[in-house]
Structure 1
Amino acid sequence: MTMTYSAFRESMAAATPPAHLSPYLQALWFAGNNQWDAAHDLVQDLPDKKAAHIHAYLHRLEGDDGNAGYWYASAGVKFPGVAVEDEWEQLVKSCLEV
């Protein structure tokens, strides 16, 4: 099932993320709803670069740039020069495009 960015944003008013979302989008949904632990739990053990990128974002969001740097390197992504809010939007949009 495809979802637009607008629909994703609207879904954030619900108590839980839509069931059809990938683990990546669920993590970003939780992060966007200030539920860092739930977001982190979803991606911390996934073995791919997309999960590593979201994991990096989460550590950047919490202010742990050292840990974030490790995860950005694991994801093969440069430490972003944009605000965390902008990075969140970029991540959501890239996950929705898949």
Structure 2
Amino acid sequence: MNDITSFEETLKLSSPPSNLGPILKSLWYDAKGDWDSAHAQVDQLNDRDSAWVHAYLHRKEGDIWNADYWYGRAKKNRPNGTLEEEWKKLLEHFLTI
């Protein structure tokens, strides 16, 4: 899967496709409104990519201090745009790598 439309089609399913890695599963669960499951996918990972998604999730939660910590680990700045814009940017990025 390498495009947003295909990914969004999977949101009709009751569980994420088995071929999604933890980052895309996290974004999938987030889109389904399941913050806890989204967070569980990236909570124990230590790479910069996972930290970026982790940061987004804490920003969405409203825990800005924690979000900024994870943005720092990801070597990213907290965006000024909406959460929806950030989710789409994350999805576009991780679908292409």
Q: Specify the TM-score bucket, using the shorter chain as the normaliser.
A: over 0.9
Aligned-pair distance for 1:4?
A: 1.5
Alignment of 1:1-98 (within 5 A): 2-98=1-97
Query: Secondary structure of 2:70's match?
Result: helix
Normalising by structure 2, what TM-score? Answer: 0.97
RMSD of aligned residue pairs (Cα, Å)? 0.7
Query: Following TM superposition, by how much is the alpha carbon of 1:49 offset from its aligned partner in structure 2, in angstroms?
Result: 0.3
Aligned equivalents of 1:18 and 1:3: distance in 2?
13
Deviation per residue, 1:19-50 (Å, 9 max, x gap): 10111000000011110000111101111000
Unaligned stretches of 5+ residues in structure 2: none
Deviations 1:51-96 (A, max 9, x none): 0000000000111111100000110000101100010000011000
TM-score normalised by structure 1 residue count: 0.96
* Greater than 2 Å deviation, 4+ residue runs: none
What is the distance in 2 between the residues matched to 1:83 and 1:33? 18
